[in-house]
């Protein structure tokens, strides 16, 4: 089987794609990759900063899209955190294969990926968890919108996330004027500008509506292990940083805001790690 890899990037983070491209080339068997889709959610000129050579043997599979390519017109009031969610949905819906895996620009593959463990019977082994981590606004809105009991969501709830292409397309088609609808509900147009939908929560809720669960498309062997380090984790527990070097994770990432809280020694350690591991 083959999958598409989908990443959304803006100008200041294009440099991260060098490490991501190298991590894909090192740890992800090229035979399983159909396309690597990078969506420009910034100036729409990010392609000028992206070197296909970063992707080595996968460079011919690189496809850079802008908003026009995914038929997206952004409402000016929305910030990048919200618009990138819609980019992930619309770009993944263009996949030419059954499955896409969504990454952030900062996401790096950290060890050899065994696709026979990740996918069993054409099902990604993500498992699912409770929806407790979502805000009450999101849970209540999606509960009412789909008329479901929204108590579970697909793992990991964030990155990396697996979209089933035809199901995602059906979700988009089922919601009238989807692009506008999503933008209106990812940030309401009046104060207090609440968020009622998130990309992955919306998809999980849709699956609960049409399939009454996740078992028909996803497995729960939980073979996929990410480690995503955020700013609040570093602030509250600086020692958390050391976990990123443990050889037990499939993907790793550090949020850009989190790097501001690293000590100089930690920054040096991270940069050395990147060069030693991926060059």
pLDDT in tens, 2-18: 999 999 999 999 999 99
Say what the pLDDT of residue 191 is.
85
| Mean pLDDT value across residues 155-170 | 96
Q: Residue 139 carries which DSSP code?
A: H
| Mean pLDDT value across residues 66-86 | 93
pLDDT band at residue 167 using 50, 70 and 90 as cut-offs: very high
| Pairing relationship of beta strands 99-104 and 3-9 according to DSSP bridges | parallel
pLDDT band at residue 189 using 50, 70 and 90 as cut-offs: confident
Beta partners for residue 40, in sequence order: 9
pLDDT band at residue 190 using 50, 70 and 90 as cut-offs: confident
Sign of CA dihedral 132, 135, 137, 141: negative
By the 8 A CB rule, do 146 and 208 touch? Answer: yes
Q: Residue 160 carries which DSSP code?
A: S
Enter the pTM of the model: 0.96
19-64 residue pLDDT tens: 999 999 999 999 999 999 999 999 999 999 999 999 999 999 999 9
**Measured CA angle at 142 (ends 141, 147), to 5 deg:** 105
Residue 222 pLDDT > 80: no
Q: Which residue has the tokens 């294969």?
A: 97
By the 8 A CB rule, do 21 and 55 touch? Answer: yes
| Mean pLDDT value across residues 108-129 | 96
Beta partners for residue 64, in sequence order: 38
Q: Distance (Å, rounded) from C-alpha 27 to C-alpha 49? A: 24
Beta partners for residue 154, in sequence order: 128
pLDDT band at residue 77 using 50, 70 and 90 as cut-offs: confident
Q: Distance (Å, rounded) from C-alpha 130 to C-alpha 183? A: 25
CA dihedral 91, 194, 46, 73 (to 10 degrees): 60
Q: What is the mean pLDDT of the chain?
A: 96
Say what the pLDDT of residue 57 is.
98
Helix (H) or strand (E) holding 130: strand 128-130
């Amino acid at each position: 089987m083959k999958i598409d890899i989908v990443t959304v990037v803006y100008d200041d983070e294009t440099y991260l794609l060098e490490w991501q491209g190298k991590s894909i080339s090192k740890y992800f068997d090229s035979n399983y990759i159909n396309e690597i889709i990078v969506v420009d959610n910034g100036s729409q000129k990010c392609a000028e900063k992206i070197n296909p050579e970063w992707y080595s043997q996968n460079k011919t599979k690189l496809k850079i899209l802008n908003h026009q390519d995914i038929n997206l017109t952004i409402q000016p009031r929305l910030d990048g955190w919200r618009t990138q969610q819609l980019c992930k949905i619309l770009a993944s819906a263009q996949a030419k294969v059954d499955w896409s895996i969504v990454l952030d620009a900062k996401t790096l593959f950290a060890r050899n990926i065994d696709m026979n463990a990740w996918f069993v019977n054409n099902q990604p082994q993500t498992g699912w968890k409770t929806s407790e981590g979502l805000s009450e606004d999101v849970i209540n809105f999606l509960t009412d919108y789909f008329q479901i009991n929204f108590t579970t969501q697909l793992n990991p709830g964030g990155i990396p996330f697996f979209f089933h292409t035809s199901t995602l397309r059906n979700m988009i088609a089922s919601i009238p004027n989807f692009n506008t609808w999503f933008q209106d509900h990812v940030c309401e147009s009046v104060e207090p500008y609440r968020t009622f939908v998130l990309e992955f929560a919306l998809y999980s809720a849709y699956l609960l509506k049409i399939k009454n669960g996740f078992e028909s498309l996803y497995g729960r062997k939980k073979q996929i292990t990410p480690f995503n380090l955020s700013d609040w984790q570093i602030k509250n527990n600086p020692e958390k940083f050391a976990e990123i070097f443990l050889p037990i994770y499939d993907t790793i990432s550090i949020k850009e805001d989190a790097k501001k809280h690293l000590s100089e020694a930690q920054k040096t350690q991270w940069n050395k790690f990147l060069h030693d591991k991926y060059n």
